Structure 1
Amino acid sequence: MIINYKYILCCLLTALTLLLCTGPGPVAGGGSDTEVSSRKVAGIVLDNAGLPVANAVVKIRPSVYLIDSLNSKSFMESHYVRNKITGADGSFSFDSILVDEYCLDISKNDSIGAMNQFSINESELDIRLSSIKLETFAVIDGNVRVNGIDSTEYFLQVFGTDYNRKADPNGYFSMRLPRGRYTMHFGAYASWDSMKTKPVDRFELTFDVSDSYKYMGDFRFKSPPKDSCVDFSCDSIVVRKALDEMRLDSIDVRAVATVENNRVVGLNLRGFPIFYLSKYIESLTELRTLDLGLTRIFEVPPTIGMFQKLETLKLDSNGLQYLPSGIVSLSALKSLDINSNFISQMPSGFQNMKLQYLDVSKNKFCSSDSVFTNWADMYDPDWRYFQLCLPMYPMIGSSIE
């Protein structure tokens, strides 16, 4: 067999030429791999004494990044999200950076840190950040609420970082983070929306943190829009659905509903053992009177505050142990009857309710403070003599004149 060495050599040279001229192709974010790999960011981290900080965590995130972005495959494939640890000399370096605006979050032991923001454009290939000094973390806190609604969850996320927090059931939040300038995303979601797909409301706030503590404020989200009725034909369907859901399918709508000007303005469910109030009732926006006495309910719907035209609310003779905070949002309420329950305290802000009638007798207001006693005294000076306390006389600490 005759071996053609010239032919083999020619094939090898051709293959080598193709290999050298053909790169691995473009990467996510635009540009070739060669172009991207030459673009980097580097810096040195120091403590307050000017000494290098080793083993500090350095996180680089796009400025549009939120912690939820981790769940988006397309976002993660098209953006640069990386973590590094500083070396013994406090240095760090990120290679293959994409063109974008970034936040650089640096921390050590979750106690000291720094926040740095910068952008990279097409013409920049090598960014050397000035020495970054770490300071003690700051604390921010505040309150978020949806007016008249208790069953809402509040999530706070800081753009460009992993910082996030879920507010407690009362809407209070607290967060530790490095000092710097931030934009925070506030989101309120109904408690049933476990996938967080339909926010009740949301907004963003840009702020600076320069001191060790910052009170963010008391924020109020807008109430969610409701599919409201505009006439009795719609109202009657709503009441019918509510009665059926509460197993009162044999009860006629007009037997429990009060109608004025072609709208349902009153609902009397007294004596029916419904145990809970149907959510369909929330669509009755013209409701002025709601009687839930002797219905065996054990809780008042947290959305009660949405009935902004409600003037009379009767909750007597049930098994209630507390009232939702939304009840203080009933700005039109004139009459409140909660007698014969097991309530021991009123929700925050109750003293601002301007009522004409109040009945709190036969409850457990046995060790109430002066704010409550002064408020209740305005409506019934003898209320304290009819509490379910031991001994079965005036509430503890009171005197008989």
Structure 2
Amino acid sequence: MDGEPLRVGLLGGGTVGSQVARLILEHGDDLAARIGRPLELVGIVVRNLDRPRPGLPASLLTTDAEGLVTREGIDIAIELIGGIDPAQDLILKAMSHGASVVTANKALLAAKGDELFGAAQHAGVDLYYEAAVAGAIPIVRPLSESLVGDEIQVVMGIVNGTTNYILDKMTAEGMDYQTALVQAQDLGYAEADPTADVEGHDAAAKAALLASLAFHTRVRGDQVHREGITGVAPQDIRAARGLGCVVKLLAVAKLLDDGQISVRVHPAMVPNTHPLASVKGAYNAIFVEAAAAGRLMFLGPGAGGAPTASAVVGDLVTVARNRSRGVVGPVQPMYNDHEVAPMGLVTTRYFVRLRVQDEPGVLAGVAGVFARHHISVQDVQQTPAGGKAGDASAELYLLTHEAKEADLLECVADLQASPQVQAAVRFMRVEGM
């Protein structure tokens, strides 16, 4: 095999980083055959040198991240430490010293993508990030290369395995949110502090990356409307079942008729007939609608050391091939300037649940409120509220046709102010119906 080894520096020796290092070390001959040149792992940045890391040579371990990325002759830096700082500074320094970069850092890319991709282009190096969006699921290259000649209209997906596991347990086994969360933590699907997952921060960063790829417009994570799953109640799960739906935390990016784009993350009811409804446990899936290609579905493990490491090493091979040929991969074409639509302008269908006095005229009054706000109701169901003896109240479940979010919020506010409504009015968006 011709050529000097390509020198690789690895930032991060945690769950994913250690898997990446082992793949490089244990499958060196196979990787070299695919690349055309061997890879040489020259350093692994860790926080604690004393922590046991079976299979990783102690001679490669270091705590000097800056020293590694600025070391003479580094060809490729792999960033797996996460967060904004010091990851951003280390990536920029690696690029300024001529190294291409592979990263799985969705939070950084969603916040600082313009700067990082600009720096890569200026330095003439690659910046690849397949593992940042959906773990082992290949979606970055399909959107940026395979479908680049098509017009993508919708990208909608389950991009967080922790929340999908929790909602699946609530649906299949009737667990409440807290019980399902504890089980997810016990199994290692959820962190001790699950905020980034259950409040939708992780999914929002991924939604920003998906929207940027799909619509050729740089979208930041702070432009994504975000809601988590902490407020999803067993009643919502049961109501969804009655509608022939399941509840999922969705990342949704849509091209609107007026040229704006909607980018949002929130719980939604999804019909059982939709491909995303069947995604169970900690799996992820991304559903794409394109003008010519039609409907496409990408499914697979979305998290975990081995699946994420697979995507990282896939990028490593591609970047190494480019390096061997003296080229860089295609630059992301961000030639559009779509505005991100305010959430109030978004249109979708809604499920509305409210508790009312069970007496004549109440249903007509509720229907009148919806009509005043130009919201068409497709279906209404009424059930006893199940309160104490003598409690003359009922639960109303309403399914709307498509409506504007701002109109729906005004409608809910009017319903809440009615003396006939006895508890907080709840609603959930319905997607894919």
- TM-score bracket, shorter-length normalisation: under 0.3
Task: Give TM-score, length-normalised by structure 2.
Answer: 0.23
Greater relative contact order (Cα < 8 A, sep 6+)? 2
Which structure has the larger Rg over C-alpha atoms?
A: 1
Q: Which has the higher helix share?
A: 2
Q: TM-score, normalised by structure 1?
A: 0.25
